[in-house]
Amino acid sequence: MAPPPTDLSRLCLHTMTTRPWPLEEAVGRYARAGIGGVTVWRDAYAHCGPQAAGNLVRGHGLSVVSLCRGGFFAADSAEGRRRAVDENRRVVDEASELGAPLVVLVCGTAPGVPLEEARRQIAEGIAEVVPHAAAAGVRLAVEPLHPMYAADRSAVNTVGQARAICSEIGSPWLGIAVDVYHTWWDDRLADEIAACGRDGRLFAFHISDWLSPTTDLLEDRGIMGEGRIPIRQIRGWAEEAGFRGFLEVEIFSRRLWASDQAAFLAKITKAYMAHA
């Protein structure tokens, strides 16, 4: 088991976590709370562009941890797959302007395309984007999603599947984002995280909690400690595997977005110290 955090310097928030706040307000509030980093979602800089957003984050003394998100490589036509590759090259360019060292990939899936075929398309799509990412100095992280999203968000549902894609492509610019919400149920998780460490592929670590019962497949995540995930134990596995990066809080919750965001932020920092 990892020791508790001693401060908030490794805490990163995804802008999506406090979605009601515009980027300017979110960054100001995060900085005042003593949080160390921000993962910026593309919608957060729609009004100002990635470069201004990056300057804003750094101007508050925060690190830009990653850009969320690229991906969605699977499609039922060659034209669709080509468009996805083009779009991902644009996402890499935006990461470069933002000053984000990493792009998180939600890999996609397509109706009518068997999952195995979708994973092949994903590997081919990523392979086409990797040289562009390497030239830009931006790393890519495959984020396996919980199997409940296999039909409509991602055919990559385990860390093992993500590692297989990384091994096939074999680039140091490609690794894995482990999100405890998506992976905590997997009885192979400890071994898979250790293997990611051996390969030098553990690029990012996302945290939130799994509520029981869960009332929505997408927007009912909990704050750390509210649910079933042994977050500190999984963080321990990541750190045994050599991970020293930010612990990124990524919570999608209609319930919490409807609540007072300043009080929500205070709950997050408290829960981080107690459960991360």
Give me the residues that bind Zn ion (CB under 5 A), please.
Answer: 179, 206, 250
We find the least distance from the C-beta atom of residue 78 to Zn ion, in angstroms, to be 29
CA distances for 9 relative to 3, 62, 244, 269, 273, angstroms: 15, 10, 12, 11, 11
Q: Residue 133: helix, strand or coil by DSSP?
A: helix
- Residue where the block lists tokens 């699977």: 74
**Residue with Cβ nearer Zn ion (139 or 206):** 206
**Residue with Cβ nearer Zn ion (81 or 208):** 208
**Residue with Cβ nearer Zn ion (81 or 204):** 204
We find the least distance from the C-beta atom of residue 142 to Zn ion, in angstroms, to be 11
**Residue with Cβ nearer Zn ion (132 or 206):** 206
Q: Which two tokens stand for residue 32?
A: 């005042």
We find the least distance from the C-beta atom of residue 179 to Zn ion, in angstroms, to be 3
CA distances for 202 relative to 82, 98, 199, 221, 222, angstroms: 28, 22, 8, 23, 24
- Complete DSSP assignment for 226-270: SSS--HHHHHHHHHHTT--S-EEE---BHHHHTS-HHHHHHHHHH
